[in-house]
């Protein structure tokens, strides 16, 4: 991928910078992006471990049309996948790479939209007891999806929000309106709730991160024991719950994603693809322009 970036930057065969205030200029860029994206896919499929596991054939044309018809709208990128699939890591890498290009980006986790279940946890004597009693923690009904959708629509329209914060300390407490999230040009949203039915259509780009169960299990148990001080027995018990919840609530949306990514990919390669996308969208015959 680095060779493609260098070739792009050093090429003398560049298109004139379109006037993005004109629809014709945006249409030219959309056509250009369409051809370049296919170039990326062709390169990726020749790699020993491709990043792109699946791409919706209508994605590029649909996203291009959105850029043409509504250029002022913020670009919302939704990232989902089963627990420990690597979605948070990919989200951080997207943010890191975008910021390196001096572009404004915000990040929001849908985990903060869990319902407040502090009363239930007190009633059952702890988070684990509540889970063992059959409480379905990852069910769509356990999220504040109405508030999440309202917040995402506001962000897409350029309106800053105050998102709730779910405390990750086992208390089940959700603090409303406690996080300032700014409506920057790029907004990356990650978590299992990003593709739940009531909110998935808000996103311009829907990404599903897929990783083999054995890799996910090792990641999850290690994280639970080392970072969250859980014993291995309880970590495995929660892992078994997550397998069932993933089958019911997360996997069904894989086929509705625009892009399915390999969650075990090297981050350096992933970052180089983002760098190439930036290069092709800002490497014109005249002064560069940021989308």
Same domain? 95 vs 135: yes
Statement: residue 259 has pLDDT above 90:
yes
% pLDDT > 90, the chain: 61
CA dist list (Å): 271 to 31, 105, 179? 24, 16, 28
**CB contact at 8 A, 80 and 192:** yes
Instruction: Tell me how far the alpha carbon of residue 287 is from its chain's centroid.
Output: 31
**CB contact at 8 A, 195 and 143:** no
**CB contact at 8 A, 129 and 120:** no
Same domain? 45 vs 76: no
Exposure string (b/e) for 189-203, b if CB count within 10 Å is 16 or more?
Answer: bbbbbbbbeebbebb
**Mutual angle of helices 267-282 and 2-10, in 10-degree steps:** 20
Q: How confident is the model at residue 140 (pLDDT cuts 50, 70, 90)?
A: very high
Same domain? 145 vs 288: no
Measure the CA–CA gap between 192 and 232, rounded to whole angstroms: 24
Write down the pLDDT at residue 289.
Answer: 44
Write down the pLDDT at residue 23.
Answer: 87
Report the number of distinct structural domains present in the chain: 2
Write down the pLDDT at residue 275.
Answer: 85
Write down the pLDDT at residue 19.
Answer: 74
Write down the pLDDT at residue 280.
Answer: 73
**CB contact at 8 A, 174 and 167:** yes
**CB contact at 8 A, 51 and 270:** yes
Residues forming a β-bridge with 208: 80, 260
Same domain? 20 vs 64: no
Same domain? 2 vs 61: no
Between 201 and 279, name the one with better pLDDT: 201
Write down the pLDDT at residue 102.
Answer: 86
Write down the pLDDT at residue 9.
Answer: 54
Same domain? 87 vs 217: yes
**Mutual angle of helices 59-69 and 23-45, in 10-degree steps:** 160
Write down the pLDDT at residue 183.
Answer: 97
Between 264 and 284, name the one with better pLDDT: 264
Write down the pLDDT at residue 288.
Answer: 42
Write down the pLDDT at residue 72.
Answer: 86
Same domain? 243 vs 170: yes
Domain that holds residue 287: 1-51+266-291
Same domain? 39 vs 63: no
Statement: residue 227 has pLDDT above 50:
yes
Write down the pLDDT at residue 290.
Answer: 46
Of 32-41, 97-106, 155-164, highest mean pLDDT: 155-164
Measure the CA–CA gap between 258 and 57, rounded to whole angstroms: 8
| Mean pLDDT across the chain | 88
Same domain? 282 vs 183: no
3-state secondary structure of 69: helix
Q: Where are the alpha helices (DSSP H) in 11-117?
A: 23-45, 59-69, 87-100
Q: What is the mean pLDDT of residues 101-112?
A: 93
Same domain? 117 vs 218: yes
Statement: residue 29 has pLDDT above 80:
no
Write down the pLDDT at residue 8.
Answer: 54
Lowest mean pLDDT among 57-61, 102-106, 152-156, 280-284: 280-284
Same domain? 112 vs 256: yes
Between 247 and 101, name the one with better pLDDT: 247
Measure the CA–CA gap between 218 and 214, rounded to whole angstroms: 6
Same domain? 155 vs 225: yes
H or E element at residue 12:
none
Domain of 224: which CATH number?
3.40.50.300
Q: For tokens 């989200």, name the residue.
A: 91
pLDDT tens-digit map of 232-256 = 999 999 999 999 999 999 999 999 9
Of 25-39, 177-191, 273-287, highest mean pLDDT: 177-191
């Amino acid at each position: 991928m680095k060779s493609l970036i260098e070739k792009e930057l050093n090429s003398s065969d560049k298109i004139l910078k379109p006037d993005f205030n004109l629809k014709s200029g945006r249409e030219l860029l959309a056509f250009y992006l369409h051809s370049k994206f296919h170039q990326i896919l062709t390169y990726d499929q020749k790699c020993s471990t491709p990043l792109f596991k699946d791409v919706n054939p209508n994605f590029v044309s649909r996203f291009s049309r959105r850029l043409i018809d509504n250029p002022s709208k913020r670009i919302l990128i939704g990232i989902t996948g089963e627990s420990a699939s690597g979605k948070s890591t990919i989200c951080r890498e997207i943010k890191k790479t975008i910021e390196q290009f001096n572009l404004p980006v915000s990040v929001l986790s849908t985990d903060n939209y869990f319902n407040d279940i502090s009363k239930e946890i007190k009633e059952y004597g702890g988070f684990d007891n509540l889970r063992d009693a059959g409480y379905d923690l990852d069910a769509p009904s356990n999220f504040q999806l109405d508030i999440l959708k309202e917040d995402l629509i506001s962000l897409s329209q350029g309106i800053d929000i105050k998102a709730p914060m779910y405390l990750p300390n086992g208390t089940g407490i959700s603090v409303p309106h406690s996080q300032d999230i700014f409506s920057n040009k790029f907004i990356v949203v990650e978590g299992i709730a990003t593709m739940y039915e009531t909110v998935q259509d808000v996103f311009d780009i829907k990404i599903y991160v897929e990783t083999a169960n054995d890799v996910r299990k090792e990641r999850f148990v290690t994280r639970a024991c080392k970072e969250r001080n859980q014993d291995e027995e309880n970590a495995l018990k929660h892992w078994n719950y997550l397998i069932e919840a993933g089958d019911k609530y997360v996997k069904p949306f894989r086929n509705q994603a625009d892009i399915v990514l390999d969650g075990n990919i090297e981050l350096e390669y992933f970052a180089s693809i983002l760098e190439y996308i930036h290069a092709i969208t800002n490497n014109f015959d005249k002064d560069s322009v940021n989308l």
